[in-house]
Amino acid sequence: MSAKRPLEGLRVLDLCVVWAGTYATCILADMGAEVIKLENVHVFAPMTRGGRARPPKAIMTGSMAWGTGYPNNEPGPRAWNYCPTFVQLYRNKKSVTIDLTSEQGQALLRPLIEQTDVFVENNAAGTAEKLGVDYDSLRAIKPDIIVLRAPGYGLSGPYRDARTLGAHLESVTGHTLLRGYADRDPSQTSAIFAGDHMAGSQAAFAIMAALRHRRRTGEGQLIEMAQAEAATPMVAQAYMQQAFTGVAPETVGNRSIYGFAPHNLYPCRSPGSAEDGGDRWIAITVTSDAEWRALRGEMGDPEWARTADLDAAEGRLARQDEIDQHIGAWTRDQDDYDLFHSLQRVGVAAAPVLEASRVFDDPHVQARELNAPQMLPDGLGPYLFNNPPYKFPATPLTHERPPVAMGQDNEYVYTQLIGLSQEEYQAIVDAGDAGMDFDADIP
């Protein structure tokens, strides 16, 4: 008997939106579970297959590539299948369209639930109840089902119904005030969505832990994740400082919260500017006196660095602004990768700050096969997509299926899983519920 992937043989229904839940089910799919996205051609869930179903060409060139940079700056025939914000997280998944807002759709879901091990959703609290897929409804059909619900602020409390994306969660959990430039107002901060990585990973972990409990006891359960709570480990030290000292944590930008110095970004020889994505920087962090001596040696033991007070961390911390000026002057005309290698060879943690287009050529990225060419629907591609980044030698985890198009697996799910005849399935298609296009009147 050959080895199976960790979750092979398990079925997961995925009613997730945006990133957090979608990343959780991406991990489960990478681990071998059959993950089926539940989608609805009559309802466009914003920020799930894009900001809009049919984005105007006028916005294609206007903002961040990861927000609106559709293939060749064209919305294409089915923009929802290649929105760059989301499409990477659709690997190894299947998709069915089913109208859960209708009684017929809910009835069709029932036989599918009977064959489902895990149900995952991260909609606003209350949505699952409206669609008949809350925990009590699901376990009435499948008593040992494991259900993970991950609304932004949980299923209870005054913020339960707040609408939120990762950026808002991040503000509420304290991260937005803690990160950013030390010498600039927080209103100059850009929005990031770091909490989704935390929520998705921990949701996948909790689901696998619950599956273990089910193997041992036969018991399913409800897992409730408030994404805001799941994001707090990213700012753990700030909470701990408040709890242990009562002193409010400071915003230190790229400096070390532990007082390691030097610890910053430094300019490198650049083929362009920040306006065109061509500015280059190297991150250098010195976390011990030995690393400082190594860095000093690489710089050629300059006079300014040889004063005795810089031999110890406290001395370097006291003069870090001045040290940063000197290091920046030294790095300014050098190549970031050359510096990376020369500093790492003497034991100093340094790394180029890679603009996204440079990732693919990195020797580590290539050696580890972090990406592989995949085709998108409508003949688009090939493009390099992320592979599962976990090296399991006995049970290899690979990019089995390219990012799934909406409704791509309708026939399989309706006929083989739900058990409809071809005629019955065709009736669902004819009624417009099983399809690969959002309704024409959805913008």
Stretch that binds other proteins, among 214-222, 304-312, 405-413, 422-430 (CB under 8 A): 214-222
Q: Is 156 in the site for other proteins (CB under 8 A)?
A: yes
How near is the Cβ of 54 to other proteins at its closest, in Å? 11
Angle subtended at Cα 93 by Cα 89 and Cα 96, rounded to the nearest 5 degrees: 115
Stretch that binds other proteins, among 92-100, 115-123, 358-366, 418-426 (CB under 8 A): 358-366
Asked if 411 contacts 419 with a C-beta cutoff of 8 angstroms, the reply is no
* Window 124-153: residues binding other proteins (CB under 8 A): 135, 148, 153
* Window 67-126: residues binding other proteins (CB under 8 A): 67, 69-73, 82, 84-89
Q: Is 308 in the site for other proteins (CB under 8 A)?
A: no
Of residues 207, 234, 153, the one with CA closest to residue 26: 207
How near is the Cβ of 72 to other proteins at its closest, in Å? 7
Asked if 378 contacts 78 with a C-beta cutoff of 8 angstroms, the reply is yes
* Window 25-44: residues binding other proteins (CB under 8 A): 26-27, 31
Of residues 391, 368, 372, the one with CA closest to residue 382: 372
Backbone angles phi, psi at 81, to 5 degrees: -90, -5
372 exposure class (CB count in 10 Å sphere: 0-12, 13-18, 19+): middle
Q: Residues 281, 292, 414, 438: which binds other proteins (CB under 8 A)?
A: 281
Which lies closer to other proteins via its Cβ, residue 29 or residue 428?
29
Q: Residues 140, 257, 329, 427: which binds other proteins (CB under 8 A)?
A: 257
Q: Which helix (H) or strand (E) holds 383?
A: strand 380-386
Which lies closer to other proteins via its Cβ, residue 73 or residue 416?
73
Q: Is 265 in the site for other proteins (CB under 8 A)?
A: yes
Q: CA dist 401 to 10, 92, 126, 168, Å?
A: 17, 5, 33, 33
Which lies closer to other proteins via its Cβ, residue 389 or residue 419?
389
Quick count: other Cβ atoms within 10 Å of Cβ 225?
24
Under 8 Å CB-to-CB from 51, ≥6 apart: which residues? 67, 68, 83, 85
* Window 313-332: residues binding other proteins (CB under 8 A): none
CA atoms in the 13 A half-sphere facing the CB of 442: 18
Q: Residues 45, 141, 162, 442: which binds other proteins (CB under 8 A)?
A: 162
Alpha helix (H) residue ranges in 254-347? 289-298, 313-318, 320-331, 336-345
Q: Is 236 in the site for other proteins (CB under 8 A)?
A: yes
How near is the Cβ of 219 to other proteins at its closest, in Å? 5
Q: Residues 128, 206, 295, 406: which binds other proteins (CB under 8 A)?
A: 206
- Lookup: tokens for 368: 């580890």
Which lies closer to other proteins via its Cβ, residue 27 or residue 38?
27
Q: Residues 75, 105, 132, 174: which binds other proteins (CB under 8 A)?
A: 174
Q: Is 171 in the site for other proteins (CB under 8 A)?
A: yes
